Structure 1
Amino acid sequence: MVLRGKPVEPAGERGASLVDAAYGALKHAIRESVFPPGYQASAGELALRLGMSRTPVHEASLRLQEEGLVRILPKRGILICALAPHDIAEIYEVLIAIEAGAAELSARLPDAARLALADDLDRATSEMGQALAAGDLAAWGHADEAFHRLLVEGCGNGRFARIIQTVNDQSHRARMLTLRLRPRLPASEAEHRDTSDAIRRGLPGLAREAARRHRIRARDELLPLIESVGLRHM
């Protein structure tokens, strides 16, 4: 999202909308590595690219800093925070714990909600398969993210979704940066089906174990891969 037009100063609700627009545009650029890890930009440069004044850009940068995505450098702008391998390991610990719990809760939902969620999860998994068959790795990554987001948001525990949001942004960036290096993308689809099937059948223990096993397998595949190709930061 890039805004165009003469830079303006925010005022009232218009100011809030400009901050939201700047936040959304910058966050998208970070998540999709348009602004790669280690990228540094001044507030003036960012304001020019977004077509607005520095004030909403600064406010948006403060929000992104709270989420751990950027670091504000006094008088120099922002720095896109990089992820080291140990950061990825910590992120996966959070994902494993929360998504396993979310899968268990999802399998305990009332029938209508449980079956609707399973349908949504299967739809996202099917989109992954279609994207992989078409060779569209970016679309595969977005469908993969959608599956995990639906799982957490649909489980009925709103705090899970709020807690996991920051690491989701960080894990998505790592996902998109490493897609071409990972040899077992089709395995994720089968593992997703195991999770959604256990939820559909109302089997909490099986759903928990399927979600946990999937994330552990992905972690144990990704971390050695990162080390083998010498990636120090993402």
Structure 2
Amino acid sequence: MTDSTKPKSQTQRAVEDMRALIFSGDLAAGTDHLEQELAQRLGMSRTPVREATLLLEAQGLLEVRARKGVRIQALSPDDMAEIYEVLTELESVSAYRAAKAGLSRSQLSQLAGSIDQMEAALRAEDREAWATADAAFHDELVALGGNSRIQSIVAMYNDQVRRARAMTLHMRPMPHQSNHDHRALYDAIARGDADAARAIHHSHRAQAQQMMVSLLKQFGLKRV
């Protein structure tokens, strides 16, 4: 049994702190940083920072460059188009599998709760709260699909999607259509209509891809 009170390692702290700096833009896309600089900024030694940069490189957030430190990866429209192609297919399979599983309303309560939170966030015009609830919805959808390999692949790309969303959150229209899509998907899963669930989610993700790519183009970002 894992002890939840166990203190975080220095490497875990470095990963979390660097992720926060990247997501906030304090470590901006395309910028270069020396290991020693990052260690001083985080108030720790170079060893956990070095280990953290390797983990963040695997997540696609930065590139470790020999004898040159790290470069924070930009999110180009092409990158995001490719990521969404993968997520659209895999999450749609998860929606299909969840509907096929004959899940009870109790088993779907977390999914429904995320929709309620998104709708409350829109009423309050709180985009950040909406984004948090939206991420929880997609995580739960993939979990309900019950395919551990899909979960692993989706997890590889989630940070990049959430980073792109953080960059564009205040550029997009209020996501009322997204909430409508989520509610329709929930209803299809609850009534066990697997084909409808897959089709609804595939359309939803395809539309999200078009919008995200268009918004990223406004940043003028390119692969580096």
**TM-score, structure 1 as length reference:** 0.85
Confirm or deny that 1:170 pairs with 2:156: no
Give the corresponding residue for 1:9: none
Confirm or deny that 1:203 pairs with 2:162: no
Give the corresponding residue for 2:125: 135
Moved more, 40-49 or 24-33: 24-33
1:183 paired residue among 173, 188, 196: 173
Deviations 1:143-196 (A, max 9, x none): 111111111122111111111112111111111111111125111000001111
Distance 1:139 1:151 in 2: 18
- For structure 1, the residue ranges without an aligned partner over 5 or more in a row are 1-12
1:87 paired residue among 79, 87, 100: 79
Give the corresponding residue for 2:88: 96
- For structure 2, the residue ranges without an aligned partner over 5 or more in a row are 1-5
Q: Which amino acid aligns with 1:61?
A: T
Corresponding pairs, count: 218
Aligned CA distance change for structure 1 residues 184 and 57 (closer, same or farther; 3 Å): same
Distance 1:156 1:170 in 2: 23
Give the corresponding residue for 1:157: 147
Report the 3-state secondary structure (helix = DSSP H, G, I; strand = E; otherwise coil) of the residue aligned with 1:218.
helix
Moved more, 155-164 or 41-50: 41-50
Give the corresponding residue for 1:6: none
Distance 1:36 1:140 in 2: 24
Distance 2:130 2:23 in 1: 15
Confirm or deny that 1:220 pairs with 2:210: yes
Give, in angstroms, the shift of residue 121 of structure 1. Answer: 1.5
Distance 1:116 1:160 in 2: 23
Distance 1:136 1:154 in 2: 27
Aligned CA distance change for structure 1 residues 117 and 26 (closer, same or farther; 3 Å): farther
Is the Cα contact below 8 Å between 1:31 and 1:169 reproduced in 2? no
**TM-score, structure 2 as length reference:** 0.88
Query: Which structure 1 residue ranges, 4+ long, deviate > 4 Å from structure 2?
Result: none
Give, in angstroms, the shift of residue 127 of structure 1. Answer: 1.4
Is the Cα contact below 8 Å between 1:128 and 1:139 reproduced in 2? yes
Report the 3-state secondary structure (helix = DSSP H, G, I; strand = E; otherwise coil) of the residue aligned with 2:145.
coil
Confirm or deny that 1:232 pairs with 2:216: no
Give, in angstroms, the shift of residue 232 of structure 1. Answer: 2.2
Percent sequence identity over matched residues? Answer: 37
Aligned CA distance change for structure 1 residues 44 and 225 (closer, same or farther; 3 Å): closer
Report the 3-state secondary structure (helix = DSSP H, G, I; strand = E; otherwise coil) of the residue aligned with 1:116.
coil
Distance 2:156 2:45 in 1: 27
Deviations 1:47-103 (A, max 9, x none): 122221100110111111122211112333211101111111101101110110000
Confirm or deny that 1:50 pairs with 2:42: yes
1:192 paired residue among 182, 188, 194: 182
Distance 2:132 2:178 in 1: 13
Higher relative contact order (CA 8 A, sep 6+): 2
Moved more, 64-73 or 54-63: 64-73
Give the corresponding residue for 2:3: none
Moved more, 124-133 or 157-166: 124-133
Give the corresponding residue for 1:59: 51
Confirm or deny that 1:122 pairs with 2:108: no
